[in-house]
A = this chain, B = another copy of it.
Amino acid sequence: MNSLTTLVEARFDPHYHNKYATLMAAGNGALGIRATHEEAYTTQTRGMFFAGLYHRAGEGETTELVNLPDLVGMEIELNGDIFSLLSGEILSYRRELSFASGELARIVEWRSPHGQRFTLKSERFVSDTRPGLFCLRLAITPHDGPATVRVATGIDATQTNSGRQHLAERELRVFENSYLQARYRTLDNVSDVTLGCACRVSPQAQVSFSAKNRRLLQHSQQTLAKGECFTLEKCAWVSASPDAPDDNAAAAALATLRECATLGYDALMAESSAARRLWWRQARVEVESDCRQDQQALDFALYHLRAMTPRHDERSSIAAKGLTGEGYKGHVFWDTEVFLLPFHLHTAPAVARQLLRYRWLNLAGARRKAARGGWQGALFPWESARSGEEETPEFAAINIRTGLRQKVASALAEHHLVADIAWAVAAYWQATGDDAFMAQEGRELLEETARFWLSRTRDVNGRLELHDVIGPDEYTEHVNNNAYTSYLAHHNVALAQGVRRRLGVPDDAFTAQCDDFLARLYLPGARADGVIPQDDTFFSKPTIDLTRYRASAGSQSVLLDYSRAEVNEMQILKQADVVMLLYMLPWRFDNATAAANLDYYEPRTIHDSSLSKAIHGIVAARCGRRDEAYRFWRAGCDIDLGDAPHSSDDGIHAAATGAIWLGAVQGFAGISVKAAELHVTPSLPPQWRRLAFPFCWQGRQLHLVITHDALTVSSDHAVRLFINDTAVDINGERTFSLSDSPCREAT
């Protein structure tokens, strides 16, 4: 394995504070911490999140992932000057996140407003092995004579979610003149959080403590000779009991903190780093490309895919912004099943199983939501948190015409996620053959979701139609017979029918209903030119010139010129539903159809959704359009890694990181599953020379290496796969030439 890349911030620029706080965030699936600077800036938003710890701040508010009391902040005073990179002079600056170790380091040379030079170095990480552990180390060296250094840091509970406070202070303590501990309870009295930290400084430093205005701080002060170094090593432990208060947690948390603090930064870092190294071996995608950033984008994506996934807790799933920001309030969308689950399914299938169990455990809420709408089965919430209830906020932005805030319609009609979850259940079963899962969780999920669709139809002159739905394209609301929704619903019901028959469940009224549904559901067919209508009315709507809006894709700038209602009445796509459909059910459409729909819909698509470009890229790759595919893939990488200063302020685009992996593996390596067969149809872009990655399939650990000419596959057990549609059996390692058709083993 080549050495992993890093992410470097070479310049201090307040416009980019929140972007880098997101991109360089640390996390282990349980705990996520934004990469804000130790010193405060008004332009930076701090953030620390514990997976599953949600709370609603009051009536009319939305349940959100709690932004926890801050552990990162440090008030640093150097000879009386408040340390801030806005003042004085920056002599050098570099911040670097190591994807290999997960360590973030910053080194700054600074001339204070009084003209004295200092070097400040900080390092930090969230442990990959200990779920609540965060360590931070600060070193300060004066270069122009003696200096008095003051640092105040601890636990700062003035932190809010954009002004919404979720936690009441329960107890603040300082144990043994060393260990700060703060206990909080959510205002609804349901969840407890305990934060503890120890800040080790040299024995020469004077230390005192304060507890005021929700800040529990250690104040350390030391006078240094020129060249002497002040160091502060902060070891912090965060624990939470999201489902019930726990008054006994404090003692255990203190014991754990004491143990960690005794081990110290270096030992804890080594332990965490070793665990990460092992994981990278199971997951890393290596690429040789003309473009240096491609490997970085893949490393970045996988780093975040690991950081965002709550492997420790099946009652949590992956939030749309992971654990990196307040965006989308920490809610779980269909993004998880469609964009994120495949990565886990093929690198650590148990994680994929857990993500599906999250939905299964929340079936009760989904049944309630269906019943509220007058339907049967399970209608999962459009936005989900811990309770499984619908969490979509009521209002979005202000309507520029009326001055009123606009209602969010997704929770009412964006029902495709029901079928998306079923799609993921099937994908899991095909990839793992986990019959035990399918017999319990899988079957129940497929049946309950199918039951929803059976009840959701309307009989129109003998055919069943799906009315008043919203597809993934949220710029087209409340339409009938949306192609994406209908095809996926059909797939969902077919899956339920299929699994029952395979499990030998006798036919009954439900089976009969499924047969009827599958026979009579209206699936919009292609026109003569191959283009499938997105819905019943789409073709009849006018088009406008989208050049300007496409140039600022992702910004939703079209909504500054048109109201949502106006956008709805034009051929303007946030993302293209039919392209998404081609991606999801590739075996239903031939390449000519795919190409025709790409050509029709892409120019009408603004790509204002971060889910859009990457999927276009994969469909393009499958059509053999390698340049176009690569362009889209790169654009997908730029959603977070591009130059736009504020695109990631609220957190990482979790689905987009998943799509970076999907693009490489499903797009360029051309991996797909058809009728339970694993197909590999490589389509490397001209810029790439080599693509290599591990891949789990039905209990086998495969490894694939793809060049323009050859494909090398190794497997730890016998496995059959289809390379460019030719069946090959592998046990050990085999290399195939890709120049021939059908493919042949290279010599």
Q: Count copies of this chain in the complex.
A: 2
A185 cross-chain contacts in B, Cβ below 8 A: 59
A187 cross-chain contacts in B, Cβ below 8 A: 57-59, 187
CA distance A203 to B52 in the complex (A): 49
Contact flags A206-243 to B (C-beta < 8 A → 1, else 0): 00111111110000000000000000000000000000
Number of interface residues of A (CB under 8 A): 52
CA distance A61 to B57 in the complex (A): 15
Interface stretch, picked from A398-406, A506-514, A581-589, A612-620, is: A398-406
Contact flags A1-36 to B (C-beta < 8 A → 1, else 0): 000000000000011000000000000000000000
Query: In the complex, which of the residues A43, A158, A172, A398 has the most CB atoms of chain B within 10 Å of its own CB atom?
Result: A398
Given A57-B168, A170-B60, A560-B208: A163 touches B14 (CB 8 Å cut-off): no
Contact flags A476-510 to B (C-beta < 8 A → 1, else 0): 00000000000000000000000000000000000
A158 cross-chain contacts in B, Cβ below 8 A: 160, 162-163
CA distance A158 to B57 in the complex (A): 13
Given A157-B163, A158-B162: A168 touches B403 (CB 8 Å cut-off): no
Interface stretch, picked from A81-89, A263-271, A342-350, is: A81-89
A157 cross-chain contacts in B, Cβ below 8 A: 163
The answer to the question of A459 belonging to the interface, with a C-beta cut-off of 8 Å to chain B, is no
By beta carbon, the residue of chain B nearest A77 is B15
Nearest CB of B to A322, in Å: 18
CA distance A405 to B172 in the complex (A): 7
Nearest CB of B to A15, in Å: 7
By beta carbon, the residue of chain B nearest A165 is B165
A15 cross-chain contacts in B, Cβ below 8 A: 80, 82
CA distance A209 to B213 in the complex (A): 33
The answer to whether A211 and B405 have CB atoms under 8 Å apart is yes
The answer to whether A163 and B160 have CB atoms under 8 Å apart is yes
For chain A, what secondary structure do more than half of its interface residues adopt (helix, strand, loop), or is it mixed? loop
The answer to whether A214 and B162 have CB atoms under 8 Å apart is yes
Nearest CB of B to A324, in Å: 16
The answer to whether B210 and A398 have CB atoms under 8 Å apart is yes
Given A165-B165, A209-B398: A43 touches B82 (CB 8 Å cut-off): yes
CA distance A86 to B212 in the complex (A): 27
The answer to whether B168 and A60 have CB atoms under 8 Å apart is yes
A211 cross-chain contacts in B, Cβ below 8 A: 397-398, 405
The answer to the question of A562 belonging to the interface, with a C-beta cut-off of 8 Å to chain B, is no
The answer to the question of A173 belonging to the interface, with a C-beta cut-off of 8 Å to chain B, is yes
One of B57, B58, B189, B405 near A59 (C-beta < 8 A) = B189
Contact flags A174-213 to B (C-beta < 8 A → 1, else 0): 1111000000010101000000000000000000111111
The answer to the question of A413 belonging to the interface, with a C-beta cut-off of 8 Å to chain B, is no
The answer to whether A173 and B404 have CB atoms under 8 Å apart is yes
CA distance A405 to B168 in the complex (A): 16
A215 cross-chain contacts in B, Cβ below 8 A: 162
A515 cross-chain contacts in B, Cβ below 8 A: none
List, sorted by A's number, 21 A–B pairs whose CB atoms are closer than 8 Å: A14-B82, A57-B168, A59-B168, A59-B187, A59-B189, A60-B168, A61-B168, A86-B86, A157-B163, A160-B163, A162-B214, A162-B215, A164-B214, A173-B403, A173-B405, A174-B398, A174-B403, A175-B403, A177-B403, A208-B400, A209-B398
Return the 8 tightest CB-CB contacts between A and B, nearest first.
A158-B163, A40-B42, A162-B213, A86-B86, A165-B165, A58-B168, A174-B403, A163-B214
